[in-house]
Structure 1
């Protein structure tokens, strides 16, 4: 079993006086794809934002390759090799598709991902590279957001609600691209509302319920009953 690249140790997270996560403990192994599931408001996006450095936490509550990163800024976390595809995509509306992608490569990390490789993964982006990014369809914008993250050549990619609001045919295109994203040893954490889809593409799953881990298991062995109990707290 590979060593964990990411470890969460009793992670608490707050927005001011509101506590969103309570003692979350989890890990991601090298090259592993892990799902995070749970109802709306369970803390999934807070978890992703905490890992990415958008929420400051206790240093030792988040370890990257054994080193504490819980207090690092988002740019420092990205420089270590962790990239976030945020919920809602958050593209730069005044920039073209290609300019959005280029911004993702500004860290200068070495690796296999560059413009040519992203266009190979998502050919439609090459056709639309000079268009304003927010003029694209929702699915194409999601491809830009994924490509922007890949341009930083991460070792871990965090994908928050990558299929939310997209047509089934576009969701299939994005998930069909997943093996090409993680095929060279990159680890991934995927937040997904479609439980069946999440389980089909991941090795392990964590369920959050009211900010706590209510279930952990292998994606191919957890039962529907276990998920239902963990999801709804029944």
Structure 2
């Protein structure tokens, strides 16, 4: 089995008095794609934000390449090689498409991703590179958000709700690009509402239910009935 690139240990997360995650244990191997599924409010986005350093955690609760990183800030996590494609894209509205992409590269990590490579991956972005980022369609903005993350040349990329609110043709374009995105041994975590898509592109999955892991397993062999029970908390 490939080496673990990231693991969480008894990961908990709070928003004030509200606890969103309860003792989560999960792992991601080198070059592996895992899916995180679950209903709204299950804790998926909180998990992504915790790994990316946007939520404050204890250092030992998140370990990346044998280094505790749970207490690091988001900018410090990014320099380690973890990039987040956030839910809702969160582009900089005052900047052009290309300026948004360039910001991702300021992490300063070496690797295969640069503007030329991104424009080959998503040619429409080159055509629109001088436009304000928020003047693009939702699908094109998602491509910018993905591109911004890739410009950091991460070893682990986190996709939070990769297809939420997008037209089917755009979702297909983005998923068709995934093999090229993770071609060089990059690890990925995909949070996805569409269970079929999530399982199709991942090796393993974790189903969250009210902040806990309700089910985990092999994406290709799991029974849909088991997922349904875990997803809705039916025992």
The answer for the alignment partner of 2:57 in structure 1 is: 57
Match of 2:117 in 1: 117
Q: Paired residue for 1:228?
A: 228
Q: Which runs of 4+ in 1 moved over 2 A?
A: none
Match of 2:201 in 1: 201
Corresponding residue number in structure 1 for 2:167:
167
SS of equivalent residue, structure 1 residue 105:
helix
Q: Distance in 1 between matches of 2:107 and 2:207?
A: 33
Are residue 40 (structure 1) and residue 40 (structure 2) matched? Answer: yes
Residue in structure 2 matched with residue 182 of structure 1 by the alignment: 182
**Matching of residue 219 in structure 1 with residue 219 in structure 2:** yes
Q: C-alpha separation between the residues in 1 aligned to 2:221 and 2:9?
A: 25
Aligned length: 234
3-state SS in 2 of match to 1:60: helix
Deviation at 1:58, TM superposition (A): 1.0
1:145 has 2:142 as partner: no
Tell me, in whole angstroms, the C-alpha distance in 2 between the residues paired with 1:24 and 1:107. Answer: 29
- The alpha-carbon deviation at position 225 of structure 1 amounts to 0.7
- How much has 1:118 moved relative to structure 2? 0.5
SS at match of 1:143: helix
- Tell me the C-alpha RMSD between the 2 structures: 0.4
Q: C-alpha distance in 2, partners of 1:3/1:219?
A: 19
Matched, 1:10 2:10: yes
Which residue matches 1:192?
A: 192
TM-superposition CA deviations, 1:139-159 (whole Å, max 9, x none):
000000000000000000000
Q: Distance in 2 between matches of 1:175 and 1:145?
A: 14
In the TM superposition, residue 17 of structure 1 has moved relative to its aligned partner by 1.0
Shift of 1:67: 0.8
Structure 2 gaps of 5+ residues are: none
Q: CA–CA distance in 2 between the matches of 1:88 and 1:107?
A: 22
CA distance in 2 between counterparts of 1:190 and 1:140 reads 19
Normalising by structure 2, what TM-score?
0.99
1:92 is matched with 92
> For the residues of structure 2 that align with 1:183 and 1:203, how far apart are their CA atoms?
15
* 2:127 corresponds to: 127
| 2:106 aligned with 1:136 | no
Give per-residue Cα distances to partners, 1:196-232, cap 9 Å, x unaligned. Answer: 0000000000000000000110100111111011101
**Match in the other structure for 2:106:** 106
